[in-house]
Amino acid sequence: ETGVTQTPRHLVMGMTNKKSLKCEQHLGHNAMYWYKQSAKKPLELMFVYSLEERVENNSVPSRFSPECPNSSHLFLHLHTLQPEDSALYLCASSQGSTSTGELFFGEGSRLTVL
Partner 1 sequence: GEDVEQSLFLSVREGDSSVINCTYTDSSSTYLYWYKQEPGAGLQLLTYIFSNMDMKQDQRLTVLLNKKDKHLSLRIADTQTGDSAIYFCAETLIRGSTLGRLYFGRGTQLTVWP
How far, in Å, CA of 42 to CA of 80, rounded? 24
Q: What residues are paired with 111 via a beta bridge?
A: 11, 87
Residue 42 or 83: the one with the smaller Cβ distance to partner 1 is 42
Residue 37 or 80: the one with the smaller Cβ distance to partner 1 is 37
Binding mask 44-83 for partner 1 (x = CB under 8 A): -x--x-xx-x-x----------------------------
Question: Strands 109-113 and 10-13, how do they pair?
Answer: parallel
Please say whether the beta carbons of 87 and 95 come within 8 A.
Answer: no
Residues that bind partner 1 (CB under 8 A): 4, 6, 31, 40-43, 45, 48, 50-51, 53, 55, 90, 92, 94, 96-97, 99-108
